[in-house]
Structure 1
Amino acid sequence: MAIKSIELLKWFASNEEMMEVLAAVAADLGDMIEDVNSIAVIPLKGAMTNEVFQIKWPAKSDGHLRTVLVRIYGEGVEVFFNREVEIQTFECMSKNGQGPRLLGRFTTGRVEEFIHARTLSAADLRDPETSALIAAKMREFHNLHMPGAKKAQLWQRVRNWIIYAKSLCSPKDTMIFGLDKLDAEINMLETLLSEGYQEIGFCHNDLQYGNIMIDEETRSITLIDYEYASYNPIAYDLANHFCEMAANYHTDNPHVLDYNKYPGLEERQRFIHIYLSSEGKKPSNIEVEHLLNAAEKYTLANHLFWGLWGVISSHVNSIDFDYKEYAKQRFQQYWLKKPILLDSPSIISQSEIVNGSLATLT
């Protein structure tokens, strides 16, 4: 339902630059926005980095509603990515026929083409038919030729985040989250996971259900929101997608993760087989097994990545989301799964993991 609340419209009206860009976009489309009262605003839920709004106004040609998407950048989130690089990625994606078109920019956000497709729900990720479409789309995405060095960007990004997280946290939180231990963990993971051949592709790096859209008529998949996109091992992106199956960001407690919903072995095997088969070549069982094992180990890097994201976001982002609790869950999963996936003894006790305190790490 379109929202015409006085507070929301006043807020839009107060951003003169944004309204000027919206008016310019409307003019490019042959319409006219005379003032803020001629638009309807629908806040879109589920975003945790930016605030996103669906904006509508009557088209001049036939009176039907014209729709665009306005993205307001989250405060302080530039620590996570370079905004200019992200815009460059967005524009390059559009030229490659991927995602929405960029319609206009203003200092604190941008106007995008509104894709008339349905954003997936958490349950959609577990639907075999939809999952197969996602797998094929991921393979297509990973093969895109994009600007930037074709090498893993993950490790340096996480190291930068560790430094920044420490600068924001109190000594108590630094101990609780075990931040002083993470440099050694990242060094270990990079060395271990970089052994042997690994395919590097252009990865989305945030393939949660809210960043995947489906056209119900054509059954085509569109991946959106490229803030975190970069070259990385494809196993890392697969791991990220599997980890996101534990999340549902449209509940009363959107930060709570349910790892009972993490996909089982057969489900992961099926996804990877479809992923590798999507270009018409049947993969061998060894190829599937190799990528399956690599993806499973890369879940550890994912947990540290998003754990640090949660810690930093709790200090810089005002969106209503319990970032600290989310971070605790990601770090807990790291310490729970590390001894299993790497066949190495845990350095913390089960009770310390469950209680969410890593303060006694040695």
Structure 2
Amino acid sequence: MNKSSILQEALSYCAQYLGGTWECVASSDVISKRIRRGVSNVLLYLKLADYFSHENQEVIVRFYGSELTGKGNKYKLLSEVEEAIVFQTLSEMLSGPKLLGLFPGGRIEEFICVEQVSVEEYESIEVCSFLAKQIAKFHCLRFPIKKCHKPSSEQVKSLYQAFCANQTESSHKNEIYLRYFKNFDFGNEVKWIEKMSKSTVVASRIVFSHCDLNRTNIVKRDNTNEYLIFDFEYCRYTDRAADMSTYFIEIGLNHLQMCDEFDISCYPNEDFKKLFIRQYLSEFKQNFSDFDFFIDHEDRILLETDFSLLVICLIRILWILTQCKISKRLWKQAKIYLLTYNHFKQRFMHQYSHSLEI
């Protein structure tokens, strides 16, 4: 879909759902701009010309899916109705943008003037504390959506099967990339993840989770110190440790993508992770009716998070290697995840082998 047709479609939906002035505007009457944030949706900013007046003068029209995820976003786990419920509830809870319209394949949102946090802000104590408390609130929520939980080990297994199937269909370019992984025994690692996932010591609470806490989804209102969490399309019921480990992985990835050499010090240290977990537990205890000191304590959540980090790294490696075409950016990320997995797997085995009998 080209820029002109996207704009016309967006204006058509604005006319239907916003009414008033939006019903009679032409493309020449609006300022439009594609927002380059995130990779799973097409976001279009629309602003009425100054000679028009409407209570929603500026809006965001979101079309689900992109060049990477396909039309409608084939990786979405929530239905459009479920996502609308989640979006509206969380927007009210977190003072985020309002839902103005819901159409097949997308929605219209209130425009809020925000800026993406910098790499430095993302890993600051201030944002760490904000995310810990907000994620704890997320994890206490109950939504009228599917509660069925697909274990992370199942996702690893299905991606591994797809990876094996793709070996016979790989392009010459992908074969060159795959040689880098020839000494990594995916089969054994998948079996180890499956085995560990069955351990009650590693098992994590199943809670409502955001599942995409990368830097592009953490923003700050212009000229304020108020942070917001955006984009709820991957929200689902899953292991609570997934949100924490995703945040810790993304901190390292932000730096490593700009480096020529792998440096493990780019990842948060133990003190930073424990600070996050303590802030999380403080908020979680106040809001979760079934708080249990036996499983809701710092050491337990740290273990869950350390294991979840390995699972997410393996999922991301396999997802990248199952793509038909691997861009240089994704290829570099796959190598980073592999080095990260190997380092933290060794640390995990050393730190927890006695208590887990592995």
Normalising by structure 1, what TM-score?
Answer: 0.75
The one-letter amino acid paired with 2:206 is I
Out of 339, 343, 351, the residue aligned to residue 350 of structure 2 is 343
Task: Give 1:336 deviation, angstroms.
Answer: 2.8
Matches within 5 A, 1:284-323: 287-313=297-323, 315=325, 322-323=329-330
Say what the alpha-carbon RMSD is for the aligned residues.
3.9
Q: Of residues 112, 130, 133 in structure 2, which corresponds to 1:136?
A: 133
Q: Which residue identity lines up with residue 205 of structure 2 in the other structure? A: E
Q: Is the 8 A contact 1:102 1:111 kept in 2?
A: yes
* Residue of structure 1 in register with 2:356 after alignment: none
Instruction: Return the match for 1:95 from 89, 106, 124.
Output: 89
1:70 to 62, 73, 78: 62
* Correspondence 1:328 to 2:332: no
State the partner residue of 2:234.
Answer: 228
The question of 1:273 aligning with 2:274 is answered: no
1:37-57 Cα offsets, whole Å, 9 max, x none, are 222223333422333332222
SS in 1 for 2:19: helix
Shift of 1:220: 4.9
Q: What residue is the counterpart of 2:43 in the other structure?
A: 52
Contact 2:45 2:58 in 1 (8 A): no
In 1, are the aligned partners of 2:149 and 2:238 still within 8 Å (CA)? Answer: yes
Aligned positions, number: 331
CA distance in 2, matches of 1:225, 1:178: 36
The residue identity in structure 2 corresponding to 1:276 is L
Which shows bigger deviation, 202-211 or 82-91?
A: 82-91
Report the more deviating stretch, 280-289 or 63-72.
280-289
Unmatched tracts of structure 2, length 5 or more: 352-358
SS in 2 for 1:137: helix
| Per-residue deviation, 1:243 | 0.6
After superposition, the Cα gap between the structure-2 partners of 1:76 and 1:107, relative to the gap in structure 1 and judged at 3 Å, is: farther
The alignment-based identity, stated in percent, is 19
TM-score in terms of structure 2 length = 0.76
Shift of 1:269: 0.7
How far has the Cα of 1:306 moved from its partner? 1.9
Q: Decide which moves more: 235-244 or 108-117.
A: 108-117
**Correspondences of 1:151-162 after superposition (within 5 Å):** 151-162=149-160
Q: State the distance in 2 between where 1:45 and 1:256 align.
A: 28
3-state DSSP of counterpart to 2:199: coil
Moved more, 75-84 or 181-190: 75-84
Tell me if the contact between 1:162 and 1:179 (Cα under 8 Å) persists in the aligned partners: no
Q: Distance in 1 between matches of 2:109 and 2:262?
A: 30
The 2-side partners of 1:40 and 1:111 are apart by 16
Alpha-carbon separation, structure 2, partners of 1:321 and 1:193:
32
Aligned to 1:264: 269
For residues 233 and 261 of structure 2, the distance between their equivalents in structure 1, rounded to whole angstroms, comes to 23
1:18 maps to what in 2?
10
The equivalent residue for 2:108 is 111
One-letter code of the match for 1:342? M
Given that 2:31 and 2:49 are in contact with CA atoms closer than 8 Å, whether structure 1 keeps it comes out as no
Deviation of 1:124 after TM superposition, in Å, equals 1.4
Cα distance in 2 between the residues matched to 1:321 and 1:100:
34
Equivalent of residue 121 in structure 1, options 118, 127, 137: 118
Stretch deviating more after TM superposition (126-135 or 48-57): 48-57
Distance of aligned partners of 1:224 and 1:120 in 2 relative to their CA distance in 1, 3 Å threshold? same
CA contact (8 A) 1:124 1:131 kept: no
Contact 1:41 1:55 in 2 (8 A): yes
Task: Give the gaps of 5 or more residues in structure 1.
Answer: 1-7, 345-362
What SS does structure 1 have at the residue aligned with 2:248?
A: helix
Contact kept, 8 Å, 2:42 with 2:65, in 1: the verdict is yes
The answer on whether the counterparts of 1:166 and 1:174 sit within 8 Å (CA) in structure 2 is no
- CA 1:62–1:89 in structure 2 vs 1: closer, same or farther (change >3 Å)? closer
SS in 2 for 1:68: strand
**8 Å CA contact retained: 1:153, 1:231:** no
Task: Specify the code of the residue in structure 1 equivalent to 2:228.
Answer: T
Q: Is 2:202 the partner of 1:204?
A: no
Identify if the C-alpha distance between structure 1 residues 184 and 225 changes in structure 2 by more than 3 Å, giving closer, same or farther: farther
Equivalent pair of 2:116/2:215 in contact (CA under 8 Å): yes
The alignment status of 1:81 with 2:75, answered yes or no, reads yes
Cα deviations across residues 95-142 of structure 1 (Å, max 9, x unaligned)? 353554444456664433323443322221222122211110000111
